[in-house]
Amino acid sequence: MPTTMTILTEADLRQCVPLDLTAVDVVADGFKALAGEGVQMPPILSMAIPQNNGEVDVKTAYVPGFDAFAMKVSPGFFDNPKIGLPSLNGLMVLLSARTGLVEALMLDNGYLTAVRTAAAGAVAARTLARKGPLKAGVLGAGEQARLQIEALALVRDLAEVSVWARDTAKAEAYAEEMSGKLGVRFRTAATPEHVVRDSDVVVTTTPSREPLIRAEWLHPGLHITAMGSDASEKNELEPAVLTRADLFVTDRTAQCALLGELHHAISAGLDVPAVELGVLVREEGEARPSEEAVTVCDLTGTGVQDTVIANHAYAAAKKAGLGREFHA
Amino acid sequence: MPTTMTILTEADLRQCVPLDLTAVDVVADGFKALAGEGVQMPPILSMAIPQNNGEVDVKTAYVPGFDAFAMKVSPGFFDNPKIGLPSLNGLMVLLSARTGLVEALMLDNGYLTAVRTAAAGAVAARTLARKGPLKAGVLGAGEQARLQIEALALVRDLAEVSVWARDTAKAEAYAEEMSGKLGVRFRTAATPEHVVRDSDVVVTTTPSREPLIRAEWLHPGLHITAMGSDASEKNELEPAVLTRADLFVTDRTAQCALLGELHHAISAGLDVPAVELGVLVREEGEARPSEEAVTVCDLTGTGVQDTVIANHAYAAAKKAGLGREFHA
């Protein structure tokens, strides 16, 4: 039976899905739904191809109230840069939640993931960080270090931003580029400790396998969003950071217990009470226990975010007249 | 970065990937690889959408020696026939096993799954059934009942075929159609018992949730391939069939223990020794313990089959000049 689907390229999607407050609100709605009834979100399918230093993950979720669900295929092949290709690629397949028919193929090479991940950081900051103007800090100087701070700037006034990265030259390039982009003062910091001690809000964006942030550096009023860890071996926060925090929040507790900072705290034998971000977003009140409280949010990335951003992208592309119809 | 991929439609794939001995050999090679070193095959991702009487499964596998791997998305929405749509749809994404880049989108609506599933039945029969001419039997009268017997006819001479289905009219239509197609006598049977008692080789293709075949009907020389069960609630063979068999074979034992006939035997407290089909294919010798032995093969469908059929389809399409190039 002939069917029609829309094919959207990365260029189409970059044009119609900017990282803006609309994207942040879309992802916030996703977290709300995740805290409600009827969401279906199976464990991530993950396959390593150690022979080629590669891996592929598949995430999905059905979210009530959304017409379609995304099936996101995310390959990471870490020898690609040696041959001039990016490590991360992939696509989303958007399927009708009513019939299972393919509605759109989004050949985004990971762009929508980058947007929805940064948007989740903004949701966490909007829900948990003190009101601004704030001093912000970031660990890492890659794509998410850029997008997380851009997203943060959508929800909080930033007084200044300090950045630390293992590669000092990258941190300097980051500071110069971002300062020009956001019109905010960026400066490099010598150590993660300097970043944490000097910031009101810190975002960690590295693939570190050893903790970068120590519990003794926490100070009143600090909020940390840790979004680097999305695999069991990754770890940015010393486990005691989670127990010393006054409020520890996850995107999905069961998933963070396998892939996030929570995983390492559990392995260290700690008992960490966790609240899911969507529960706080739903409550709509003040989520911070107090001005002086320390809050920590562990983001591993959920299929719900993929489904809501893909629905948003499909609507935005239709509205903009983007994409090619394909008759299969 | 612009990339190029090939888009293949169901019509393209039907044209270049017939159910023939080549397809059977391709799938046999897949099973061989599965029994060897280096295959990566994660558990199936499975999501139910009970709100819409739907489900979606994702299967994949990396198979050493194959340039690419398939990520297969299989939705099943069982209210679709009410609105004139097929229940089963889906596509395969073929990704480079070296870089993770998408090489092809195969919009097959489940066609390649149908072929590789039938081919697996032929591999099982070629490995386990007595040499022909054989009397064959089939339970069910749907698409796989057709394809399984077509595939069986590729590897064994069939003297006649008996068919039973819950819907007698469907069984009659099946017998008439298939008789014309294969030039073999087909007849309908009043019960599953008649089919089993009167056949040398039986293929079960139903979505039954209650056993259709009883152990007391087994007779010397019988081979049964049970391919209907691919979910934990499905069940075609009484558990004692597995223990009464002289040789019980699976496509993947760990998966059959969750989704296949083996699942129900384990639930019934039985201890069932199992050999994987690929091990027998690799050995290349006579797999039947004796002419008089009863053999049973439990097929749940593996990601390896998807990867090998997708590689085969991609090569066949290129050779035939089929497909459209898409620059993303």
Tell me which chain A residue has its CA closest to the CA of residue B55.
A100
Average pLDDT, chain A: 96
- At B85 the pLDDT is 93
Question: B51-99 pLDDT, tens per residue?
Answer: 999 999 999 999 999 999 999 999 999 999 999 999 999 999 999 999 9
Residues B191 and B216 in one domain: yes
Do A287 and A317 lie in a common domain? no
Weakly modelled stretches of chain B, pLDDT under 50: none
Q: What is the pLDDT of residue B327?
A: 82
- Chain A residues touching residue B77 (CB < 8 angstroms): 98-100
Pairwise CB contact (< 8 Å): A64 & B51? yes
Show which of residues 104-163 on chain B sit within 8 Å of chain A, judged by CB atoms. Answer: 105, 107, 109
- Which of B71, B93, B97 faces A52 most closely, judged by CB atoms? B97
- Summarised one tens digit per residue, pLDDT across range A105-154 is 999 999 999 999 999 999 999 999 999 899 999 999 999 999 999 999 99
CB contact under 8 A, B100 and A109: no
Q: Provide the pLDDT for residue A223.
A: 98
Residue A3: pLDDT band by 50, 70, 90 thresholds?
confident
Domain that holds residue B17: 4-113+304-327
| Distance from C-alpha of B40 to C-alpha of A310, rounded to nearest angstrom | 29
pLDDT recorded at residue A285: 83
Is residue A322 domain-shared with residue A258, that is, in the same domain?
A: no
To probe the interface with A, which of B49, B69, B92 has the most A CB atoms within 10 Å?
B49
Same domain membership, residue A156 and residue A42: no
- How high is the pLDDT of residue B281? 97
State how far residue B177 is from chain A, nearest Cα, in angstroms. Answer: 21
Distance CA(A285)–CA(B285), nearest Å, equals 71
A86 and chain B: CB distance < 8 Å anywhere? yes
Say yes or no: A206 and A73 in one domain. Answer: no
User: Is B51 within 8 Å of A42 when comparing Cβ atoms?
Assistant: no
pLDDT of residue B2: 56
Q: What is the pLDDT of residue B328?
A: 72
The pLDDT of residue A1 is: 53
Residue of B nearest to A324 (CA): B326
Q: Are residues A173 and A270 in the same domain?
A: yes
Is there a single domain that holds both residue B127 and residue B149? yes
Question: Are residue A8 and residue A103 in the same domain, yes or no?
Answer: yes
The CATH number of whichever domain residue B282 belongs to comes to 3.40.50.720
Instruction: Give tens-digit pLDDT for A166-223.
Output: 999 999 999 999 999 999 999 999 999 999 999 999 999 999 999 999 999 999 999 9
Do residues A37 and A141 share a domain? Answer: no
For residue B233, the distance in angstroms to the closest alpha carbon of chain A comes to 18
Query: Do the Cβ atoms of A107 and B328 come within 8 Å?
Result: yes
Kindly determine whether residue A45 and residue B45, on different chains, have CB atoms separated by under 8 Å.
yes
Same domain, A265 and A143: yes
Count how many domains chain A has.
Answer: 2
Number of A–B residue contacts, CB under 8 Å: 142
CATH number at residue B323: 3.30.1780.10
Residue A217's SS3 state is: helix
Q: Are residues A182 and A171 in the same domain?
A: yes
Residue B132 confidence (pLDDT): 80
Instruction: Verify that A128 and A95 share a domain, yes or no.
Output: no
What is the nearest CA distance from A83 to chain B, expressed in angstroms?
9
Calculate how close chain A gets to B270, using CA atoms only, in Å.
30
| pLDDT confidence of residue A97 | 97
In this prediction, residue B4 carries a pLDDT of 87
pLDDT value, residue A51: 93
Query: What tokens does B85 get?
Result: 């749509």
Q: What is the ipTM of this complex?
A: 0.92
